[in-house]
């Protein structure tokens, strides 16, 4: 299996400097060599071209959505790249970049595969809209838009249609949810396993429930992993860190299960902010989780071949 690495140097959705620098930080720290060392062929597709608007024009296109047109533009390009990668039988891995890139990843994956599920691992809901968001930052909106809730420009990224069914969402590690998001969670058929639930039932049961939720229901799963899902005491280098999150081992366990399920069609790793990181500790966690995930994928593919 060929792995496509895609850099998404996007920070407009977070409205904060730093996440745009992450793709090259991953490369400088050997992400290509890491993937190769596990035994995969890897092709770096480079960075998606992101426009650089002036800061004083952030509300130029919509009074409550910062950098709307530029974010849509970047996600249209990302979606096309993801679609092409999956269509060729490759596994695309997006190195973010802020989480508004989930719009493009899901749009591309859902064109390549009819009925996809989405696992969204995140301290935040990312299901705000321009009417509920306290900030207007689009990185808090991509999941809602993907199931058809929010501004039509976000819903219709890449293709004019709703990309996923709400029941095909499994969200893990939420603990910083806005009221509008809580209301939407209550009316949505997707599963939202907040940190309170994860702590109560344990990580094993969480992962069992996740896999059972999708069994026989979807053709493949897009995995969107936000580093802020991890407790901020371990992973400080993200745009919006939150305490009381997953341990690194928990995160590894979730992604390992997805990799070995044979269902993962694409993966985002988002919100590394090198300007906020301390001695590369968050970068190293991201690399370690990627390594563990791909090692699990490699073993399960090798087992399949020898079976
Ligand atoms: Mn997020």
The predicted pLDDT at position 61 comes to 97
The predicted pLDDT at position 233 comes to 98
Backbone dihedral angles phi then psi of residue 209, each to the nearest 5 degrees: -60, -40
Number of independent structural domains in the chain? 1
Residue showing tokens 């009221």: 179
Neighbouring residues of the ion ligand 1, judged by CB less than 5 Å: 99, 122, 126, 226
Distance separating alpha carbons of residues 245 and 232, to the nearest angstrom: 7
Q: Is the pLDDT confidence value at 139 over 90?
A: yes
Q: What's CA 98's distance to the chain center, in Å?
A: 9
Cα angle at 175 between 171 and 180, to 5 degrees?
A: 80
**Is 151 among the catalytic positions?**
no
**Is 226 among the catalytic positions?**
yes
Q: Of 70, 176, 181, 226, which is the active-site residue?
A: 226
User: Ligand 1 center to residue 99 CA distance, Å?
Assistant: 5
User: Ligand 1 center to residue 286 CA distance, Å?
Assistant: 15
Distance separating alpha carbons of residues 19 and 57, to the nearest angstrom: 20
**Is 124 among the catalytic positions?**
yes
Q: Are 274 and 22 in contact (CB under 8 A)?
A: yes
**Is 228 among the catalytic positions?**
yes
* pTM score of the predicted model: 0.98
Distance separating alpha carbons of residues 98 and 269, to the nearest angstrom: 9
**Is 222 among the catalytic positions?**
no
Q: Of 98, 99, 176, 231, which is the active-site residue?
A: 99
User: Ligand 1 center to residue 66 CA distance, Å?
Assistant: 16
Q: Is the pLDDT confidence value at 51 over 90?
A: yes
**Is 99 among the catalytic positions?**
yes
DSSP letter for 127, please: -
The predicted pLDDT at position 9 comes to 98
* Residues facing residue 170 across a β-bridge: 119, 191
**Is 176 among the catalytic positions?**
no
Question: Which CATH number belongs to the domain containing residue 61 in this structure?
Answer: 3.40.800.10
Give the gyration radius of the chain's Cα atoms: 17
* Residues facing residue 176 across a β-bridge: none
The residue segments making up the domain with residue 196 are 2-306
Distance separating alpha carbons of residues 137 and 55, to the nearest angstrom: 13
User: Ligand 1 center to residue 305 CA distance, Å?
Assistant: 35
Tokens encoding 180: 């509008």
Q: Of 124, 171, 213, 222, which is the active-site residue?
A: 124
The pLDDT tens digits of the residues spanning 107-121 come to 999 999 999 999 999
Q: Of 70, 98, 126, 250, which is the active-site residue?
A: 126
CB-CB neighbours of 179 under 10 Å: 9
Residue showing tokens 């299901």: 127
The pLDDT tens digits of the residues spanning 78-114 come to 999 999 999 999 999 999 999 999 999 999 999 999 9
| Reported confidence tier of residue 307, pLDDT bands at 50, 70, 90 | confident
């Amino acid at each position: 299996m060929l792995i496509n690495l895609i850099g998404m140097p996007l920070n407009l959705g977070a409205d904060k400097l730093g996440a745009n620098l992450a793709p090259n930080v991953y490369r400088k720290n050997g992400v290509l060599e890491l993937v190769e060392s596990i035994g995969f062929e890897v092709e770096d597709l480079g960075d998606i071209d992101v426009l650089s608007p002036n800061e004083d024009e952030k509300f130029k296109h919509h009074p409550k959505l910062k950098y709307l047109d530029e974010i849509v533009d970047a996600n249209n390009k990302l979606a096309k790249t993801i679609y092409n990668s999956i269509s060729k039988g490759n596994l695309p891995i997006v190195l973010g970049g802020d989480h508004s890139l989930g719009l493009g990843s899901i749009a591309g994956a859902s064109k390549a595969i009819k009925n996809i599920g989405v696992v969204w691992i995140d301290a935040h809901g990312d299901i705000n809209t321009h009417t509920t968001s306290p900030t207007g930052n689009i990185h808090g909106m991509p999941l809602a838009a993907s199931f058809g809730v929010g501004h039509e420009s976000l819903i219709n990224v890449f293709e004019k249609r709703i990309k996923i069914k709400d029941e095909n969402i499994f969200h893990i590690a939420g603990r910083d949810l806005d009221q509008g998001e809580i209301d939407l969670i209550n009316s949505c058929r997707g599963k939202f396993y907040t940190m309170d639930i994860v702590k109560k039932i344990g990580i094993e049961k969480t992962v069992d429930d996740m896999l059972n939720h999708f069994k026989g229901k979807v053709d493949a799963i897009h995995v969107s992993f936000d580093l802020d899902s991890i407790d901020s005491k371990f992973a400080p280098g993200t745009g919006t860190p939150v305490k009381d999150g997953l341990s690194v081992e928990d995160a590894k366990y979730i992604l390992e299960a997805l990799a070995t399920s044979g269902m993962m069609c694409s993966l985002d790793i988002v919100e590394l902010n090198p300007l906020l990181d301390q001695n590369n500790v968050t970068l190293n966690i991201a690399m370690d989780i990627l390594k563990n995930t791909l090692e699990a994928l490699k073993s399960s593919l090798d087992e399949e071949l020898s079976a």
